[in-house]
Structure 1
Amino acid sequence: MKRIDNMLLWWASKVVPLAIAVWVVAIAGLLGGAWRLRWPWLLYFLATVIITALAIQWTRAVRQRTIREAPLPRFLQRKLRETYPHLSTRDCELVERGLRQFFMACLRGNKQFVAMPSRAVDVLWHEFILHTQAYKHWCHHALGFFLHHTPAEALGAKARHNDGLRRCWYWVCKEESIDPKAPSRLPLLFALDAKFAIPGGFAYVPDCSDIARKSDAGGSGGDSYCGTSFSDGGYSGSSGDFGGADSSDGGGSDGAGDGGGCGGGGGGGD
């Protein structure tokens, strides 16, 4: 299956530029008077559109399957346990799933900035990127561009600084079929730090009213951040309320590039 996927990615990477070249030739031909050959040119355009659309869809499907299913290097979980010795093997597997969720958000985010909300997952990601050849190979097949690393940060006080986290929240909620505006639970990526008591981690609750209820009961809301804070409507990221929209599903940027727009650092404390 991996060999077939690689062949499809190679084929699609060749077809899309070829289709663009064909479009350029077609437009030049039309401007040169070839429009008189009405039916041949109509069929030519139709075939070009179909081939291009298939190449883009196949490429995206293969990349998503790679992110969800392709094995990550085994040493990553060992490195994670060196940093957090209290994590079990099962815990490390969940953190790895969180990293896959982050990669999926980056893919669906159309190369726009996607912030890393978890310190535990950030450690795993950082260990991965230190092994440059393996990480470069993964990025090429899973994302189509090299994804640079920046550290994880929490939801900031100023909404305009949070587009990266809002975009991440939107896409991981979509991945788990959670309503990003009215979450009944947290997506895995936003739940891991609190679940595993990660030192210096970022704790989230689905709804701000959960914190209010704790405070009213005489308890402490702690330093938790609210999932519902992402839908205040003040700053929209790229589109909709969370930097993404159902209709676009990340757009069509499956071509290679050397500067992905994902990374950590969605807010800061200001």
Structure 2
Amino acid sequence: MPILMTIVVLLLSLSLLFVWMRWRRAAQADYIRSYMFPPGLLERLHKQRPDLSLKDQHLLARALRQFFLVYLKCGYKHIAMPSQVVDELWHEFILYTKNYEQFCKKAFGRYMHHTPAAVLGSNLRNNDGLRRTWWFACLEENINPRRATRLPLLFALDAKWNIADGFRYEPDCSALRANADGTVYCGGDFYGGGSDGPYDFGDTTNDGGSGSNADSGSSDSGNDSSGCSGGCSGGCSSGD
């Protein structure tokens, strides 16, 4: 009887822990989505990018929130920043030291570091950061990461605003190969499909997203050898 009681208590404890973790993750996601950036932040970026309207600035803030949601949903694994202009806003936010530290503590329970990112190269497993960003950013907008018919916001803004030093992406590889104007990267390359086989982050039950309602379209081919570069990557350290 004591053994049975111990098993029941253990199962109940595990169930409560699971429910608490799901609740905490949902609360953190809500905090990120509703977070109001410190006054003056968008104005500082506007000095660097005077062509961006007030509406554009708020869209930019939404894209940075999406990047932070990716970090939360992937379980604080390494992710890479795919947008130059969003990265600039991230830089400016970090300069608000106390605000940024408080945000990280409430959103992640730890500090999110800002580190250089590598380009998307031929070795698929060396590009986890950027691929992981693509995967969870797509799920955040109910886009099928394997057969995207549109880009998530985080991957679309540089081209939308024609950022001179930005990065341009296409969801369809056929459009990539037909485009000879500048460097454009293919969404299909983010999930694999090349000689190393498909790249899949597997279980997405923790991320709050679902592929069942995702966009679908013609299958992308990931055999193109071109890469995709990101501005910076994110990492964490519980010691900061």
- Paired residues, number: 211
Which residue in the other structure is 1:90 paired with? Answer: 55
Q: Which protein shows a greater Rg? A: 1
Structure 1: tracts of 5 or more residues without a match: 1-35, 215-219, 251-262
8 Å CA contact 2:84–2:167 kept in 1: the answer is yes
Displacement after TM superposition at 1:112 (Å): 1.2
- The residue type equivalent to 1:208 in the other structure is C
Displacement after TM superposition at 1:142 (Å): 0.9
**Are 2:204 and 1:246 aligned?**
yes
- What is the TM-score with the length of structure 1 in the denominator? 0.71
Which residue in the other structure is 1:189 paired with? Answer: 154
- The residue type equivalent to 2:191 in the other structure is S
Which residue in the other structure is 1:147 paired with? Answer: 112
Q: Give the number of the structure whose residues are more often helix, by fraction.
A: 1
- What is the TM-score with the length of structure 2 in the denominator? 0.80
List structure 1 runs of 4+ shifted beyond 6 angstroms: none
Structure-2 change in CA distance of 1:152 and 1:127 (3 Å): farther
8 Å CA contact 1:119–1:152 kept in 2: the answer is no
Mapped partners of 1:205, 1:81: distance in 2: 27
Structure-2 change in CA distance of 1:235 and 1:147 (3 Å): farther
- The residue type equivalent to 2:160 in the other structure is K
Structure-2 change in CA distance of 1:158 and 1:46 (3 Å): closer
Q: Give the number of the structure whose residues are more often strand, by fraction.
A: 2
- Of the candidates 22, 36, 41, which is equivalent to residue 71 of structure 1? 36
- The residue type equivalent to 2:190 in the other structure is F
Which residue in the other structure is 1:223 paired with? Answer: 183
Displacement after TM superposition at 1:265 (Å): 4.6
Displacement after TM superposition at 1:73 (Å): 1.3
Deviations 1:171-224 (A, max 9, x none): 00000011111110110000011111112100111111012234xxxxx24211
Structure-2 change in CA distance of 1:160 and 1:53 (3 Å): closer
8 Å CA contact 2:135–2:191 kept in 1: the answer is no
**Are 2:12 and 1:47 aligned?**
yes
8 Å CA contact 2:114–2:233 kept in 1: the answer is no
8 Å CA contact 2:146–2:188 kept in 1: the answer is yes
Which residue in the other structure is 1:109 paired with? Answer: 74
Pairing of 1:119-130 with structure 2 (within 5 A): 119-130=84-95
Structure 2: tracts of 5 or more residues without a match: 209-230, 235-240
Displacement after TM superposition at 1:244 (Å): 5.1
Mapped partners of 1:244, 1:52: distance in 2: 23
Mapped partners of 1:64, 1:143: distance in 2: 9
Structure-2 change in CA distance of 1:235 and 1:41 (3 Å): farther
Mapped partners of 2:157, 2:103: distance in 1: 23
RMSD: 2.4
Which residue in the other structure is 2:232 paired with? Answer: 264
Which residue in the other structure is 1:156 paired with? Answer: 121
Displacement after TM superposition at 1:248 (Å): 4.6
Q: Structure 1 stretch 146-155 or stretch 172-181: which is displaced more?
A: 146-155
**Are 2:136 and 1:168 aligned?**
no
Pairing of 1:18-37 with structure 2 (within 5 A): 37=2
Structure-2 change in CA distance of 1:152 and 1:91 (3 Å): farther
Identity among equivalent pairs (%) = 43
- The residue type equivalent to 1:226 in the other structure is C
Displacement after TM superposition at 1:40 (Å): 3.2
Mapped partners of 1:62, 1:244: distance in 2: 24
8 Å CA contact 1:98–1:188 kept in 2: the answer is yes
Structure-2 change in CA distance of 1:227 and 1:90 (3 Å): same
